[in-house]
Every structure is written in C-alpha cells, then in structure tokens.
Amino acid sequence: MYVIDFIFLLGSIGSLFYFLKTQIIKITENHLIVAYQFLPFSKKVLINNIKNFKQIPKPVKYSNGFEKPQTIYTIFETSIILKSNNDIKTYALNDFEFKEVKKLVEKIKRREGEFEAIKLSTSEFISRNFSILLFLIICLILIVGLSNALINKI
C-alpha cells in the first residue's frame, strides 16, 4: 500500500515541478523578458542586444500499439542569441509563436508601428482569467487534500 502512496506523491511532486517551471515571454517597448509564470525569477534583455533567434525541434517518438514508432516534433527549444554571444534557452514558444515573437522583435528594432501596452486592473485580470484561476485553485485543493490524506494515513 505504501508503494502506491509513494508513486502518487512522487507523481504529484513531479507535476508541481513542471507546473512551476512554466515560462512566459513578455515583450515591452525596450525589453524582452523571459519569466517563470509562478516564480519570481526572470531574465530581462534589451531588445537592441538581441542578435538572432534560433529554434531547434526536439523529436518525440510515439507508437500506436504494435505499430512502428513514429516521430513528431511538438517540443521546440528556442535560443535567444545575444550580441555578447550568450544565449537564453526556453521552451515557452511553439513554432507559430516563435515566428510571431521574432517578427515583433524585428519590428520594434526597426521602430515600425506603435507599441501599445495594455494595463489590466486586478478585477479585469481576474475576469479574463477566471477559468484558469478556478482550475488552479481546484488542482491545489486536490493536491493538498490528497497529500494530507496520504500523510495522515501513514
């Protein structure tokens, strides 16, 4: 019985780890910011210090029963190459988002168009993201409740 509890606890901790590692990319008028969504860590880079972008697809193999395994590319490692020859790696962008971010950064560098930042009040943010916030609250309650039941059972 303890083996099942341990496997569940290990799976919960692994899921929490990947959940906390979720990255987002913010683009302001002068900076590109790669940040963790739920942690207070971020890397802020001046847009003029960005030399190039590079995206490498990572293969994922899957098979449907006993068929020959097939390879698809759904995970992309994106490198933001800086003029100092350093780079920032992230998995936050898929193929379409990569093209859009690259195009937006190039437009900002050339000073084309206008940059309009939208500031949301707390109530607007909650109303726009209500379903996501409700999902997160339910998941946290389930994880805490099940973990507490497992710990008190031992």
Residue boundaries of the structural domains of the chain? 2-117
Q: b/e per residue, 8-46, with b = 16+ CB within 10 A? A: eeeebeeeeeeeeeebebeeeeeebebbeeeeeeeeebe
How far is 88 from 45, CA to CA, in rounded Å? Answer: 10
SS3 40: coil
Please state the rounded mean pLDDT for residues 94-99: 87
pLDDT band, very low/low/confident/very high, at 115 (cuts 50, 70, 90): low
Q: What is the pTM for the complete model shown?
A: 0.63
The pLDDT of residue 96: 87
Average per-residue pLDDT for the chain: 84
- pLDDT score recorded for residue 121: 84
pLDDT of residue 147: 81
Pick the closest to residue 43 from 51, 34, 52 (CA basis): 34
Q: What number is the average pLDDT over the span 107-122?
A: 78
DSSP lists the bridge partners of residue 32 as 27, 45
In this structure, whether the domain defined by 2-117 belongs to CATH 2.30.29 is answered with: yes
Q: Return the structure tokens found at 134.
A: 């409700």
Measure the CA–CA gap between 152 and 25, rounded to whole angstroms. Answer: 40
Distance of alpha carbon 12 from alpha carbon 9, whole angstroms: 5
User: Is the per-residue pLDDT at 49 higher than 70?
Assistant: yes
pLDDT given at position 113:
67
Task: Name residues whose C-beta falls within 8 Å of residue 5's C-beta, 6 or more positions apart in sequence.
Answer: 150, 153, 154
Of 70-74, 93-97, 114-118, 125-129, the one with minimum mean pLDDT is: 114-118
Q: Is the pLDDT of residue 154 over 70?
A: no
